[in-house]
Amino acid sequence: MASSPEHAAALDAADLLAHFRDRFVGAESDLVYFDGNSLGRPLRVTPERMVDFLQEEWGRGLIRSWDEGWYDAPLTLGDRIGVATLGAASGQTVVGDSTSVLLYKLLRAAVDRQVSLDPRRREIVVDHDNFPTDRYLVEGIAAERGLEVRWVSAPRDAGVGVDVLGEAVGEQTAVVLASHVAYQSGHLADAEAITALAHEHGALMVLDLCHSVGVVPLQLDRWGVDLAVGCTYKYLNGGPGSPAFGYVKRRLQGDLVQPLQGWMGHAAPFEMAPGYLPAEGMRRFLTGTPPIVAMQPIADMLDLIEEAGIDALREKSVALTSYAIELADELLSPYDVTVATPRDAASRGSHVLLCHPRMQEAVAGLWQRDVIPDFRNPDGLRVGLSPLSTSFAEVHRGIEAVASVLA
Ligand SMILES: *Cc1c(COP(=O)(O)O)cnc(C)c1O
């Protein structure tokens, strides 16, 4: 039976990535962590990196370190993220700001470019189930630019696909914004297909990768995605508030003017010249002094992803979500819990949404027992499964705990 602890132990014993779990702070405790999709665990090597950074680059190097790497860090770290996780050739990824701020900058630049090429493109397409910040930003930009929001709705476990978008996207569309993995249902969109659809109608595709980067293999260049943003504190384990990354397809970069014109995005910041002149390439998407301290931990997780291999990671992620669904069917369906995540693994990211009318209370009870999922309005418990730091035994203990609090 899937629900026996022996079965979980056998899955862990057969898991070639199991040993990576020891590389994370806190892995030795019995706590069940189902929120690596919201805030990844820190790596054990990261404290050493931080102390070293503080003593050497900052403490000894002081301001000289700007010339020795910090000034280029948004681009060099961006390139590393691009190559390790995005399927992006270098020169197309930048690191800085929060996801919300960077999404604003890229989305508005994309919208402005589209409207200037064809003023009849007056709509931004976004779905009702997208993450709040994405929806609010679209509303704000539409208001700022006198455009319309074209809302689309997708069934919770079906997500945004060509069928749903096909009815909304047309020659009036400036930009389509979609999350690659839906933050609630965990639905994984077919990024290549929806990008092709947007392009067929002359629209630009902006993808939010917050819940897919570092856990789903990405091929932004090959898929033809125009712009993308994502978090580094979820599956890239950068720590609370670590900066976002942004991707802009190379041949669009020169066409885009982002709205927050600060000195760090200037072609020659240290000339302190009158008048703004955007830098070439990805530097133009910067605004102010980059968050160098907060960038440090990200490199450790990129090392680990490269060591494990993103395809192996995806395989384990699918095994974990499949196992969580199997356990939910067996242990939680008697309590009328439903699984709101696609059952087809190819349409699923790395978290599973379990729904029950009393889930909010249940999550509070679980936190008291050191089982840490999160609650998503109105009735969802999210089981986030970070493949390098989550064991099958942990999934087993966690889902059993959900059953016992509901009982
Ligand atoms: C986590 C998340 C964000 C977070 O944005 P911040 O600016 O970092 O708070 C944005 N979009 C999606 C889809 C997310 O999952």
pLDDT for 74-125, tens place per residue?
Answer: 999 999 999 999 999 999 999 999 999 999 999 999 999 999 999 999 999 9
- Ligand 1, atom 14: nearest CA belongs to which residue? 210
**Confidence category of residue 330, pLDDT binned at 50, 70, 90:** very high
- Cα 16 to its chain centre, rounded Å, is 25
Q: To which residue do tokens 């050497």 refer? A: 56
Query: Which numbered atom of ligand 1 lies nearest the CA of 241?
Result: 8
Residue 87, pLDDT score: 98
Pocket around ligand 1: residues whose beta carbon is below 6 Å from it?
Answer: 98-100, 131, 133-134, 179, 183, 208, 210-211, 231
Confidence category of residue 303, pLDDT binned at 50, 70, 90: very high
Atom of ligand 1 nearest to the CA of 131: 13
27-37: per-residue pLDDT in tens? 999 999 999 99
Q: What is the mean pLDDT of the chain?
A: 97
Whether pLDDT at 157 is above 90: no
Q: Where are the beta strands (DSSP E) in 18-161?
A: 32-33, 93-95, 123-127, 148-152
pLDDT of amino acid 156: 75
Nearest CA to ligand 1 atom 1: 210
Q: Which has the closest alpha carbon to 183: 326, 376, 346, 32?
A: 376
DSSP class per residue in 190-232: -HHHHHHHHHHTT-EEEEE-TTTTTTS---HHHHT--EEEE-S
| Ligand 1 centroid – CA 60 distance (Å) | 35
Segment 334-347 mean pLDDT: 97
CATH architecture of 69-305: 3-Layer(aba) Sandwich (3.40)
**What totals of helices (H) and strands (E) does the chain contain, helices first?**
14, 13
Nearest CA to ligand 1 atom 8: 99
Domain locations along the chain: 5-44+309-406, 69-305
- Distance between CA atoms of 396 and 70, rounded to whole angstroms? 44
Instruction: Tell me the mean pLDDT in the region 42-47.
Output: 98
Question: What is the edge-to-edge ordering of all strands in the sheet holding 374-376?
Answer: 338-339, 351-355, 380-384, 374-376
Q: Give 137's pLDDT tier (boundaries 50, 70, 90).
A: very high
Under 8 Å between Cβ of 247 and 228: yes
Identify the residue whose C-alpha is closest to ligand 1 atom 4: 99
pLDDT at 67: 97
Ligand 1 atom closest to Cα of residue 100: 7
On the question of pLDDT at 71 being above 80, the answer is: yes
Provide the CATH number for the domain formed by 5-44+309-406 in this structure.
Answer: 3.90.1150.10
Mean pLDDT, range 314-333, rounded to an integer: 98
Q: Which of 289, 133, 113, 147 is nearest to 211 (CA)?
A: 133
Q: Name the residue with the closest Cα to ligand 1, atom 5.
A: 99
pLDDT for position 318: 98
Paired tokens of 210: 């917050």
Compute the average pLDDT of residues 350-365: 97
Is beta strand 338-339 parallel, antiparallel or unpaired with respect to 351-355?
A: antiparallel
Alpha carbon of 229 to ligand 1 centroid (Å): 9
Backbone angles phi, psi at 22, to 5 degrees: -70, -10
Please, which pLDDT band fits residue 217 given cuts at 50, 70 and 90?
A: very high
- Residue 158 has a pLDDT of 75
- For 326, how many CA atoms within 13 A lie in the half-sphere containing its CB? 16
pLDDT, tens digit, 9 for 90 and up, residues 168-210: 999 999 999 999 999 999 999 999 999 999 999 999 999 999 9
Ligand 1 mutation target, pool 130, 131, 234, most atoms within 8 A of CB: 131
Q: Examine the pLDDT at 51 and tell me if it is beyond 80.
A: yes
How far the first Cα of the chain sits from its last, in Å, is: 20
Catalytic residues: 131, 208, 233-234, 382
Question: CA–CA separation, 210 vs 232, rounded Å?
Answer: 8
